[in-house]
Amino acid sequence: MRKILHGFILLLLCSPCCGWAAADQTEVRAVSIKSAVLAEQRELVVYLPAGYQQSNERYPVFYLTDGDIQGPHTAGTIDYLAKFEQMPPMIVVGIVNRQHRERDLTLTPKDQQKPNQPQNADQFLAFVENEVIPYVKQNYRTLDYQVLSGTSHGGQFAINALVKRPGLFNAIIAISPSLYWDNNQLLGLTEQALKQQRLQGRLFVSIANEEPTMTAPYQQFVDLLGRFPSDNLVVASQTFSDETHNTTVLQGQYVALKHVFAGWAIPEGQPQTLADLQAKFASRAKLLKTDLMIPEDKANGYGQWLQYLNRPQDALVLLQWNRTNYPQSFHAHTALINAYLHFKMAAEAKAAQKDALQSLKGLSTDQKAQLEALVI
């Protein structure tokens, strides 16, 4: 019985994820923009989520340093997690740092700083904020939700962005950040910001099996976060002891994304009522600052699961909601009719059949015949 139920759930809820077509894969675009801030041409690699061209939806954006190197696997991880509803699909913007990586991503040494003149990582952050982000918003369908991720010097850059521009990004991911740079300069800046309660959003930091030059300042950073907790900053940290500095990124991004979107997933193996689904989608909508509605196929799937479990009130409430909100969905109508029949509610099934035949537009001959055959 348990195996049958498990198979039924997989068929009902996961079948769209199990037959991915080539047209549903991520689209990659190479972009070149002229930067006034940096006085040079800069390259981006933009990864559009599966289905972007076939929809009018807007998407949160994931900004990533070393985008030509880290972009492909990160976009793949996001696509995979999104397909299984562990997080929303995202536009991934990989910023290429190949030629001027140290200059772009590291802080200016204290003895070389010029008053009121951003340099190095601060200047590059100004480029990201004032040129990259506006370009992406202008050319792609985006939501007002942004994540910044970086590794090594990119992790240093990401934490610097958290400290210097709190609120610019909703979440920061820093994998094996080079916090030793310029005698741990970033640790002092972070401590000041933490004491002033200026930091906000979600933060994930991690380290691998690395030399003390990397691990000692990292541990000091984690200790700082623990000493100055804030309700406005949700922190997670992890050590990947089986990974090296170069191999930790793939696993780090996966765990980081699960932290950033904690609470996004619908619990697996549990039937969901209309109230459950509405609460989940309300939470998602609040996070992304947009309107979201339960998809028709998801409401249908959970409605049929509740029907299978012989929970008539819960099943019918959900399937009735689905028909009302998707009045031109053939499947929403037929699922409700079948539920009425399953629960031996012949009069209600007949009325739902009549409603479907009258309200559905553009019925094919086969669809009309299917509807008429449901209730004789």
Two tokens, residue 105: 């991503």
**Mean predicted confidence (pLDDT) in 39-45:** 97
CATH at 319: 1.25.40
pLDDT of residue 19: 39
Domain extent, residue 116, equals 23-260
pTM of the model: 0.91
CA distances (Å), origin 233, targets 170, 176, 204, 236: 10, 20, 10, 10
Write out the DSSP string of 96-149.
P-SSSHHHHHSPPPGGG-BTTB--HHHHHHHHIIIIIHHHHHHHS-EEEEEEEE
**Amino acid at the residue 55:** S
In a domain, 8, yes or no: no
pLDDT of 112 strictly over 50: yes
Instruction: Please check the confidence at residue 6 and state whether its pLDDT lies above 70.
Output: no
Q: Which burial class, exposed, middle or buried, applies to 305 when counting CB atoms under 10 A from its CB (0-12, 13-18, 19+)?
A: buried
Residue 118 has what pLDDT?
83
Dihedral of the alpha carbons of 152, 155, 159, 165, in degrees to the nearest 10: 130
- pLDDT level of residue 26 (50, 70, 90 thresholds): confident
Residue 113's pLDDT band, with cuts at 50, 70 and 90, is confident
Does a structural domain hold residue 6?
A: no
CA distance 186 to 192: 10
For residues 33 and 90, state if they share a domain: yes
Give yes or no for residue 28 having a pLDDT over 50.
yes
Angstrom distance (rounded) from CA 273 to CA 317: 8
Write out the two tokens for 171: 């979440």
Greater model confidence, 1 or 191? 191
- Kindly state whether residues 179 and 217 are assigned to the same domain: yes
- 217-220: Cβ within 8 A, 24+ apart: 217/179, 217/180, 217/184, 217/187, 218/176, 218/177, 218/179, 220/179, 220/184, 220/187
Per-residue pLDDT at 1: 45
| 169 touches 208 (CB < 8 A) | no
Tokens of 129: 């904020």
Comparing 22 with 298, the larger pLDDT belongs to 298
Question: Does residue 340 carry a pLDDT above 70?
Answer: yes
Asked if the model's pLDDT at residue 309 lies above 90, the reply is: yes
Same domain, 315 and 368: yes
Residue 248 pLDDT level (bands cut at 50, 70, 90): very high
Confidence tier at 115 by pLDDT (50, 70, 90): confident
Digit-coded pLDDT (tens) for 156-212: 999 999 999 999 999 999 999 999 999 999 999 999 999 999 999 999 999 999 999
Same domain, 208 and 334: no
Residue 328: inside a domain: yes
**Domain with 256 in it: what CATH number?**
3.40.50.1820
Residue 271 domain-assigned (yes or no):
no
Residue finishing a domain among 260, 295, 323:
260
- Compute the average pLDDT of residues 322-339: 97
Phi, psi (degrees; rounded to nearest 5) at 114: -110, 135
Span 84-105, average pLDDT: 96
Residue range 255-287, pLDDT digits in tens: 999 999 999 999 999 999 999 999 999 999 999
* 292 pLDDT more than 60: yes
Could you give the percent of the chain with pLDDT greater than 70? 93
Give the end of a domain, one of 228, 245, 260. Answer: 260
When pLDDT is averaged across residues 60-88 and rounded to a whole number, the result is 97
Q: How many domains does the chain have?
A: 2
Q: Are 291 and 225 part of one and the same domain?
A: no
